[in-house]
Amino acid sequence: MEIQSTDLPGVYLILPDVHKDERGFFSELFSAEKFSQAGLPADFVQDNHSGSTRGVLRGLHYQLHDPQGKLVSVIRGEVFDVAVDLRRSSETFGRWCGARLSGENKHQLWIPPGFGHGFLVLSDWADVLYKVTEPFAPEWDRSLRWDDPTIGIGWPLDANASPLLSTKDAQAPFLTEAEVFP
């Protein structure tokens, strides 16, 4: 398992070892020992599975109290996965990084607490799995506007295409109006 730094301190791209032969493949998606050795949290409390069609954009989501760290994987399809630093005291506040995660490349993204998370589905269908470090708390669930120009995420959308959004995500506030972390 290779753990690579990204442009945002604390966010890591994880490249699991994939062992292939004529039967298929085997890959270790998570190892508490390897995470601990890399200084990453290894105490996950919940696994989530999301299935979405092409053009669906989920996010940018975060939990204001008991913030969740997320280990995001795609087991089928492809997404553009994004993390945004929402810690006002951080030198990288409001900055983002993204990575293409797919069932084919088997890459994962570790997003620590204090960051917003979202993804855009690039394939006809995508199954996204993510492990979280805190239980979901609906009363503290927040969204941030996916197309906030002050953040400037480079979503790989087709020309003149609009993503498919939930009502919550379509009505999410911009960063200047959002509740964020200290």
Nearest alpha-carbon partner for 28 in 78, 80, 73:
73
CATH number for the domain whose boundaries are 2-17+30-170: 2.60.120.10
pTM of the model: 0.93
Which position has the token pair 């990084």?
A: 97
Nearest alpha-carbon partner for 151 in 175, 179, 170, 181:
175
Domain ranges of the chain: 2-17+30-170
The kind and range of the H/E element at 168 are helix 167-170
Q: Which residues are catalytic?
A: 61, 130
Give the pLDDT of the chain (182 residues) as one tens digit per residue: 899 999 999 999 999 889 889 998 898 888 888 888 888 887 999 999 999 999 999 999 999 999 999 999 999 999 999 999 999 999 999 999 999 999 999 999 999 999 999 999 999 999 999 999 999 999 999 999 999 999 999 999 988 889 999 999 999 999 999 999 99
What are the strands of the beta sheet with 78-85, ordered from one edge? Answer: 96-102, 78-85, 115-121, 57-63, 141-143
